[in-house]
Each structure stands twice: as structure tokens, then as C-alpha cells.
Amino acid sequence: MFETIGDFDADKDPFQEPQKGTVGRRDRTRAKRFDLAPATLRFHNQMSEKTCPGSSLDRANLVDEVA
């Protein structure tokens, strides 16, 4: 598990550089190091009722960027 700090719900904190690039590098490194498919990336909201990491983030786009 990795925590990404911010409130990324719509109209809250923007998810932009340099944080966005750091998160992408972190996730690519994790996938490569542990031989994981990019689709193994999970958001907190897939395991709870929360919006975490935020309603403005699109998981499919992030998975594509990791790939």
C-alpha cells in the first residue's frame, strides 16, 4: 500500500506535477520490481466506501500511464 497525500475529490486539490509524475514512477517501479500487471493497481475506494484517492482521479487513466 502507498498513500498519496491530498484531497483529490472534484474541486479540491489538483493532482498535477510534480506529484503526478512521482506517483507514476512509483507505480511503474512497483509493477516492474514485483512483476505485476499494471491492472493490479488498486484504489482505496475499491475496498471501502470512501472516495479515496478522490473522485477526480480516473483509475483507468492511471493504469494506462503505468503500462
- Split into its structural domains, the chain has a count of 1
**The model's pTM:** 0.80
Q: Residue 9 domain-assigned?
A: no
Query: What is the residue-averaged pLDDT of the chain?
Result: 92
Q: Residue 41 domain-assigned?
A: yes
pLDDT of 30-56, one tens digit each? 999 999 999 999 999 999 998 999 999
Q: Residue 2 domain-assigned?
A: no
User: What average pLDDT score do residues 51-62 get?
Assistant: 92
Report the alpha-carbon distance of residue 33 to residue 52 in Å, rounded. 25
Q: Residue 7 domain-assigned?
A: no
Percent of the chain whose predicted confidence (pLDDT) is above 70? 100
Residue linked to cell 474541486: 11
Report the alpha-carbon distance of residue 30 to residue 11 in Å, rounded. 29
